[in-house]
């Protein structure tokens, strides 16, 4: 297990290093200038504006300086769109919001999606199965930019304590969390249904039936754990994606999370912010995948031995 963790950690660090390097090159290659504004600016003033960010230096120097500041000072640089704010400050203020929203959505998704999939599998080809899978397919197909406004126009109008958008009251969490969780729940329902059907056709389940074990025991004691492997594999990247924010949901519901920084950093060519977010996202993704590997190893003895 230690070897697995060490290997995965090293892999993650290499991937993150490559990701940041690629981002560094890409953001500088695409056309446009992060300091450009609608107020026409002479090239002389533009140079002065670029000075605090080190953009007047050669790319190689900028790159080496970036890693030096990051590794020795923990400094991720300054944003060019939110002037005077460090990337660390932007991440530290927006990530807790995304984490709160993401975890809530994930919990809703898990508690709705997995039971839905299991129930569907237990009623294979019955109306419950068809209904569950129609709902799951609808959840996958309906995008957040449709579901969000529909919820705003229906649910928010009905309940005074649920706002159409904003991030000031407890009720402000509900609609964005539901919107984000629908896709997760739908995927989990399909994956857990597939997993459960696969396990239910295994010999050891047939043996359990032959031994006369009650259905509840067969499902919860013998089938559920191994049937969740595909869902858990999906949960790793889904967890990383959902807790680092969603641009669409944040814009629709006016949530001050991290997702919009990601998109805005690309659009406005904010190099340090984008590099910092890629680094952070890479680490979260690597960490989440590592946790999934460990969990799967515990759930599946064969994999544990391999690990």
Partner 1 sequence: MRFLSSILALLLCVLLCQCERKSTVELSTAEKVLIIGNSNEPKALDPHLVSGVVESNILRSVFEGLTNDHPSLDGKAIPGAAARWESNADATEWTFHLQPNGKWSDGTPLTASDFVYSFRRILDPALGANYTDMLYYLEGAQAYHQGKTKDPETIGAQAVDPLTLKLTLSKPTPFLPEIVKHMTWFPVPRHLIEVHGEMNEPHTAWTKEENMIGNGPFQLKAWRLNHKVEVERNPHYWDHENVLLNGIQFLPIKNAFTEARMFLDDLIHVSDKLPAEMIDQMETKFPEMVRKEPYVGVTYVTCNLKRSPFEQASLREALAASINQQAIIDNILRGGERAAYGFTPAFGDYLPPRAVSYQPNEAQKSLAQSTFDQRELHLLITDSEASKAIGEALQSMWQQTLGINVRLEIREWTTYLARRRKGEYDMVLCNWIGDFLDPTTFLDLWKVDNPNNTCGFQLPQYDQLLNKASLTVDPTQRLQTLQKAETELLQFKPMLPIYWRTKIYLKRPEVKGWNPLLLNNHPYKFVDLVPPPQS
Type and span of the H or E element at 50: helix 43-50
Asked if 93 is part of the footprint of partner 1 (rule: CB under 8 A), the reply reads: yes
DSSP 8-state code for residue 201: T
- Out of 20, 34, 240, 262, which residue is the one contacting partner 1 (CB under 8 A)? 34
Q: How far apart are CA 223 and CA 199, in angstroms?
A: 6
Contact between 250 and 259 under an 8 Å Cβ cutoff? The reply is yes
Q: Under DSSP, is residue 78 helix (H, G, I), strand (E, B) or coil?
A: strand
Asked if 253 is part of the footprint of partner 1 (rule: CB under 8 A), the reply reads: yes
For residues 205-244, which are near partner 1 according to CB under 8 A? none
In the complex with partner 1, the residue whose CB is nearer, 52 or 214, is 52
Using the rule CB under 8 A, give the single segment among 118-126, 159-167, 228-236, 287-295 that binds partner 1. 159-167
Using the rule CB under 8 A, give the single segment among 68-76, 114-122, 223-231, 263-271 that binds partner 1. 263-271
In the complex with partner 1, the residue whose CB is nearer, 197 or 295, is 295
In the complex with partner 1, the residue whose CB is nearer, 31 or 212, is 31
Using the rule CB under 8 A, give the single segment among 90-98, 188-196, 218-226, 272-280 that binds partner 1. 90-98
In the complex with partner 1, the residue whose CB is nearer, 85 or 124, is 85
Neighbouring CB atoms inside 10 A of 80's CB total 22
Please report, for residues 117, 199, 211, 220, 301, the alpha-carbon distance to residue 204 in angstroms, rounded to integers and kept in the order given. Answer: 21, 9, 10, 14, 15
Q: Which residues contact 66 (CB under 8 A, 6 or more apart)?
A: 24, 77, 272, 275
Task: Look at phi and psi of residue 125 and say left if phi exceeds 0, alpha if psi is from -120 to 50, else beta.
Answer: left
Neighbouring CB atoms inside 10 A of 150's CB total 11
Using the rule CB under 8 A, give the single segment among 57-65, 99-107, 214-222, 275-283 that binds partner 1. 99-107
Asked if 203 is part of the footprint of partner 1 (rule: CB under 8 A), the reply reads: no
Find the shortest distance in angstroms from Cβ 152 to partner 1.
5
Please report, for residues 121, 204, 217, the alpha-carbon distance to residue 210 in angstroms, rounded to integers and kept in the order given. Answer: 20, 10, 13
For residues 103-132, which are near partner 1 according to CB under 8 A? 103-104, 107
Positions in the binding site for partner 1 (CB under 8 A): 30-34, 36-42, 44-46, 48-49, 51-52, 78, 81-85, 90, 93-94, 103-104, 107, 149, 152-153, 156-157, 159-171, 173-174, 250-254, 256-257, 260-261, 267-269
């Amino acid at each position: 297990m230690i070897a697995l963790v060490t290997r995965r950690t090293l892999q993650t660090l290499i991937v993150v290093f490559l990701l940041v390097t690629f981002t560094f090159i890409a953001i500088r290659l695409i056309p446009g200038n992060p300091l450009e504004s609608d107020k026409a600016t002479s090239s002389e003033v533009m140079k002065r504006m670029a000075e605090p960010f080190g953009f007047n230096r050669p790319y190689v120097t900028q790159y080496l300086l970036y890693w030096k500041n990051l590794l020795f000072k923990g400094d991720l640089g300054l944003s060019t769109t939110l002037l005077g704010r460090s990337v660390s400050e932007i991440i530290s203020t927006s990530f807790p919001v995304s984490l709160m929203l993401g975890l809530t959505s994930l919990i809703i998704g898990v508690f709705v999606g997995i039971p839905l999939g299991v129930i569907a599998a237990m009623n294979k080809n019955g109306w419950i199965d068809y209904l569950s899978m129609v709902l799951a397919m609808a959840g996958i197909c309906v995008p957040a930019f449709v579901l969000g406004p529909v919820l705003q126009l229906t649910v928010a109008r009905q309940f005074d304590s649920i706002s159409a958008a904003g991030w000031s009251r407890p009720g402000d969490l509900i609609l964005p969390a539901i919107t984000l969780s629908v896709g997760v729940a739908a995927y989990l329902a399909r994956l857990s249904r597939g997993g459960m059907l696969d396990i239910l056709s295994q010999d050891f389940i047939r043996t359990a039936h032959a031994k006369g074990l009650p259905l509840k025991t067969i499902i919860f004691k013998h089938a559920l754990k191994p049937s969740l492997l595909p869902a858990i594999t999906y949960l790793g990247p889904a967890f990383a994606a959902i807790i680092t924010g969603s641009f669409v949901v944040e814009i629709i519901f006016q949530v001050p999370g991290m997702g919009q920084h990601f998109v805005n950093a690309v659009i406005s060519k904010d190099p340090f912010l984008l590099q910092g977010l890629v680094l952070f996202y890479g680490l979260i993704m690597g960490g989440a995948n590592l946790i999934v590997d460990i969990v799967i190893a515990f759930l599946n003895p064969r994999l544990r031995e391999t690990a």
